[in-house]
Amino acid sequence: MPLRAVIVDDEELARAYLREMLQSHPEIELVAECANGFEAVKAVNDLSPDLLFLDVQMPKLDGFEVLELIDADPAVIFVTAYDRYAMRAFDAQAIDYLLKPFSAERFDRALERAKGRTGKKRPPAPRQVDRIVVRDGAKIHVIPLDKLDYAEAQDDYVALHSEGKSYLKQQPIGALEAMLDAARFVRIHRSAIVNLERVTRIEPYAKDSRVAILADGTRLPVSRSGYARLLEAMGDSQGGRESV
């Protein structure tokens, strides 16, 4: 059976060039083309392709955010005009990284690699982000990190709290922690991560425990180790001042 492929690129000329490259490969069936990240998430989740040609820089959602939101696990070939994303692409377990413009020979080599890797699982690779994307049915929410107040663990999910609203994301809190800037977000408890800028004070709660009071009045538990991390982070961010 042919391998099913999806092309994702916001430039029509780039999509047309990939279509042309695929014409000499009857073993590949092109099942969808997408002009932005939102279309890509829907197409990949609906069609479960074997192979994904994915641009990096696109409006609304970039290529890395698309990978975070899809349920399918295709072999991924990044196609982009920028070489600065190469390390992130391979951290995301991409099969290859095609730098525009590329030749037919270079395309064929990438395709051969992909055909040898289709069906193999791609382990998640933690990376620091500047925003978090959350899929809620057919909706996709984009939360900039400066709008994230705190996160709470809820079994295999995290509840992300931003500007008075909550969003559930299927992700362990430890994986979320690895994606966040430790200078801005602190794991204050095994079940809570807080935006340092939202903390107004810390009060004693019980023996060896405390509670963090946020600007909106939210009260979050602070463990002994979390308190130490909080003091260290506050000291670093405020020129060594440790009083809270």
Provide the CATH number for the domain around residue 199.
2.40.50.1020
Report pLDDT for 53. Answer: 97
The answer on 89 and 158 residing in a single domain is no
Distance (Å, rounded) from C-alpha 60 to C-alpha 36?
Answer: 7
* Domain annotation covers residue 243: no
C-beta neighbour count of 131 within 10 angstroms: 14
Write the CB contacts of 143 (distance below 8 Å, at least 6 apart in sequence): 131, 132, 133, 134, 160, 162, 167
Together in a domain, 23 and 107: yes
**Do 138 and 107 reside in the same domain of the chain?**
no
Domain check: are 113 and 135 in the same one? no
Is 122 contained in some domain? Answer: no
Strands (E), 23-95: 28-34, 51-54, 75-80
Question: For strand 131-136 and strand 209-214, is the pairing parallel, antiparallel, or unpaired?
Answer: unpaired
Cβ atoms of 226 and 187 within 8 Å: the answer is: yes
> For residue 124, is it within any domain?
no
Examine the domain organization and report whether 102 and 167 are in the same domain: no
**Do 113 and 136 lie in a common domain?**
no
- Write down the pLDDT at residue 240: 36
Contact yes or no for 22/49 (Cβ under 8 A): no
User: Quick one: 49 and 13 in the same domain?
Assistant: yes
Whether 154 and 71 share a structural domain? no
Structure token digits, residue 40: 């890509």
Report the predicted TM-score, pTM, of the whole model to 2 decimal places: 0.67
CB of 71 closer than 8 Å to CB of 122: no
Domain end call among 50, 84, 117? 117
Tell me which of 91, 117, 143 is where a domain ends: 117
Q: Examine the domain organization and report whether 143 and 209 are in the same domain.
A: yes
Residue 103's CATH number: 3.40.50.2300
Give the range of the structural domain holding residue 96, as residue numbers without chain letter.
3-117
Q: Are 213 and 199 in contact (CB under 8 A)?
A: yes
The number of distinct structural domains making up the chain is 2
Spatial separation of the C-alpha atoms in residues 81 and 235, rounded to whole Å: 41
Examine residue 61 and state whether it is found in any structural domain, yes or no. Answer: yes
Q: For every one of its 244 residues, what pLDDT tens digit does the chain have, with 9 covering 90 and above?
A: 789 999 999 999 999 999 999 999 999 999 999 999 999 999 999 999 999 999 999 988 999 999 989 988 899 999 999 888 888 888 888 999 999 999 999 999 999 999 887 655 455 555 667 889 998 887 889 999 999 999 999 988 999 999 999 999 988 898 899 889 988 999 999 999 999 999 999 999 877 779 999 999 999 999 988 998 888 888 755 443 334 4
* 25 belongs to a structural domain: yes
Domain boundary among 87, 117, 147: 117
